[in-house]
Every structure is written in C-alpha cells, then in structure tokens.
Chain A
C-alpha cells in the first residue's frame, strides 16, 4: 500500500502548528472561547479571531498577531480550552505567540509592564533559585519605571510580617543558573 505524504511550504502558521502540536484548522470559529474568556473586554484581538487570522494567512498576518496585546493579556486560565468543542489548546497557542513575539522583538508597547514583570520574576528565580518578593519589586520597578506604583503593597505587608527582606535561596544557586544558561544557549543566545 502506498500512502502519499503531503508537503507544505513552511509558513508562520505551520511553524506554530508544528511547535505546539495544535492544528489551527480544527477551530470552526464558534467563538465559545472568546465568549468565556475573562480578558475578552481588554483584548485588542479576540481569541477566536487570532485563530482566524492564522487560518486565513492573509498578507501581514504574522506581524498583526505578534504585535497584539491579547497574547500578553492571556492568563492561560484555559477557560477557552476546557469548553472548546474542537479541543483547540488556545492557551498553548498564546504561549507560543508570546515567546515568538519576544524573540522577534514585536512586543506590543502596551504589554511592556507585563513583560517587565515576567522578566523581573525570572531574574529573581535565576539569582536565588526562588522568588524573592522584595527583590522582584525592586527589579520590576526599575524595569517598568512604575516607581510610584505600590506594586506589592510593601509597607503593609512588611508590617504583617509577610515580606522577607533577605531572599531565601536554594543551596546551590549555581545549578539553577546553569539550567537558565543551557536553555538560553540551546536557543542561540536569544531570550
């Protein structure tokens, strides 16, 4: 028996599909994901429409998606996936698009703070192996320049004994740094 194999030209869509094992055409655009998404009111492109844009592959679609704010707002709450009739793992698509947006330097300006927070968070983990909330706060403030924002309610938290001024560390912080380095290296130094 001979079974033919199909070959497609590599496109941004096929890259997304391959990277995360989701088939974009499974989505039949019912919109149930969007209807239940807690962030729908804040998003610039609705979740179902992100998929539609990927499906249609009209000129410039990659840019449009990678520079959208929605991909940064998505909380990976999986409300969409848990109700999607076609079992499209939208949060995974969002994950991938975010990472790609970062790699390609297309992050929506409005997502700057969100990105700063994630970076500061990881930085704290990289240095201590654990999150140090005070350190994170300082780092985030520097990155986002939101100096006035009372991000972690530090004063009241400290008063309630909830903030550790010095970080807890894993015994071997080098080990964690090594994991970060290996992963960064394997991706050609980009992060």
Chain B
C-alpha cells in the first residue's frame, strides 16, 4: 500500500514540529509517506466563507493529483484540511453535476475514491501493528485529548465513531502509557478560523477548553490539528487575560506524545518550538523495564 501525505500549509510553516514528529514516528516503524506532488492549499475556512466553488475546487485538485500519483490512502494531519478534503470528496461523490463542474475548473478528472486518513486513523492503521516493539517509555501523566469540531462534525464525514464522546485519540494516548481523562470539552470549538481576526473570541472559547482540562487535573492537552494547537498554545497570553489566571498546561501534538513514548528525543519532535514549555511532559516520562 502506498500511503500518500498531504501536509497542508501549516505543517510547512507554523506547525513544522507536527510534520517532523509525524515523520519521526513513521520512520521508526518503517512506514514511508509519499508527499502528494505539487499539492496546493485546501482553502481552509477562507474559501468556504467566500466562495463555495473555490472551496471545492482547491481540495479537488489535490485529490486528483493524489489519484494521478496512484495513492490509495492519504494522510491529512490538519483537521481543517481533513474537513475540507473529506467534505469535498463527500460532495463530489454524491453529486455528479458538482463533480463535472469542479473537474472543469481544475482541468483534471477525478474518481474521488482515495481514502482520507486523519493522523490518529493513520497511527491506528499503520503504526499500531508494529508500535509495541518500539515503545520504551511510559508517559506517566493525565492527558486530555482534544478533538475539536472538524474531526467530529458534520456526521457525514466524522473521523470518529462516537461524535459526542470520541475515543480514538484516547486510545493512542493509552498506548503511549498516559492516562486519558474524561472531560467535557473534547469536541467544543476552539475558535479555529477566527484566530487572527477575532482573537478575543478565540481566547474565550479556547480559554474554556483549557480551564476544563485543568480543573479535571490534566497534565497535558493532546491535539491533532495545527489550528487547535495554535489557539490553545500560542494564544495563551490572550487566554490568560480572559481567564484572569495563568494555566500552564502544555499542548502536544499526538505524534509528539507517541514519539516520546518511542524514545525519540524531544528536540527531534520539535517540543522546543512550543509557546508553553513542555518540560513537564518530558520530565514525567518513566522508562519501561525491559
């Protein structure tokens, strides 16, 4: 099986560590990812806010390129990209007229039958089969897995089984030796696309999320999306102002957490790139007995 990879814009820029940690984990397990050649931006929230056709055409181009390249599974580590691409695939496969129109715009033919995997689906499908032999550390801490909206809704493209109480990331964290906690804000929205233009709102929404995790004793928040990461990690000063208290829980990408349990060095996983220091996580690692 040739596994395709769609990094998305953020993983080339502000969330490079997510990209790096994903590759580090894959490499350790001997899994290769092929980047989709000449991929372009999915349009994220901006396109569907302003133009529906554009919101379909941009992801469709990527899908078509993946097909051309002969890929069957593609891993999309960003929740926004996942949502756009899976949504486009869904709409195109259910409506021939739309499909024809979009094919016209992008000058490419589509079957839309590639399978789109989130990072946690990828981990479960391709990493889990061999991961046990690589796990050397136990992440001895309570982790709050945060899924946000784009993996859990709308139900037609949800990447999780139970949309109100998803467990897929929790399973990955359990593998890494952490204790996933039951909390109330797993799937609440962090403010996503308003991060730049209405930071005040993002601070409010993300603040509630972080507060609930803290109240329930979480020692880390684990995400699988660069936007969630940005809002929960980098927007901490605004959140602090909003909550009128300082909460220092670090926010990790799920690949970083799993990478730590596999003994991959923290800097290789890009843990130094976070706004909220991550030493607390690194410090609670326990070596497993041989």
Nearest residue, chain A, Cβ from B106: A179
B38 with A172: CB separation less than 8 A: yes
Residues of B within 8 A of A171 (CB): 38
Instruction: Give complex CA distance A98, B196 in Å.
Output: 19
Q: Which B positions have Cβ atoms within 8 angstroms of A?
A: 9-10, 12-16, 38-41, 43-54, 57-58, 61, 104-107, 149-150, 152-155, 163, 188-189, 191-194, 196-199, 201, 205, 234, 272-275
Residues of A within 8 A of B54 (CB): 122, 179-180, 183
Residues of B within 8 A of A26 (CB): none
Q: Is A64 in contact with chain B by the CB < 8 A criterion?
A: no
Give the residues from 157 to 180 in chain A that come closer than 8 angstroms, CB to CB, to chain B: 157, 160-164, 168, 170-172, 175-176, 178-180
B40 with A77: CB separation less than 8 A: no
Q: CB < 8 Å: which of A96, A122, A149 contacts B52?
A: A96
A-B contact pairs, 12 of them (CB 8 A): A75-B192, A75-B193, A77-B150, A95-B52, A114-B197, A118-B45, A151-B199, A153-B234, A157-B14, A162-B13, A162-B273, A175-B107
Instruction: Give complex CA distance A163, B154 in Å.
Output: 32
For the residues of A in contact with B, the DSSP-based class is helix
B149 with A113: CB separation less than 8 A: no
Instruction: Give complex CA distance A183, B197 in Å.
Output: 26
A-B contact count (CB 8 A): 158
A77 with B46: CB separation less than 8 A: no
For the residues of B in contact with A, the DSSP-based class is helix
B46 with A164: CB separation less than 8 A: no
A129 with B191: CB separation less than 8 A: no
Most chain A CB within a 10 A radius of its CB, from B16, B46, B149: B46
Q: Which A positions have Cβ atoms within 8 angstroms of B?
A: 38-39, 42, 72-73, 75-79, 81-82, 89, 91, 95-96, 98-99, 102, 113-114, 116-119, 121-122, 125, 129-133, 140, 144, 149, 151-153, 156-157, 160-164, 168, 170-172, 175-176, 178-180, 182-183, 186-187, 191
Min CB–CB distance A118 → chain B (angstroms): 4
B14 with A179: CB separation less than 8 A: no
Min CB–CB distance B126 → chain A (angstroms): 26
B273 with A77: CB separation less than 8 A: no
Instruction: Give complex CA distance A38, B193 in Å.
Output: 13
6 A-B pairs closest in CB distance: A78-B153, A131-B9, A77-B149, A121-B46, A77-B189, A117-B197
Instruction: Give complex CA distance A38, B190 in Å.
Output: 9
Residues of B within 8 A of A149 (CB): 199
B13 with A129: CB separation less than 8 A: no
B40 with A129: CB separation less than 8 A: yes
Q: CB < 8 Å: which of A79, A151, A187 contacts B196?
A: A151
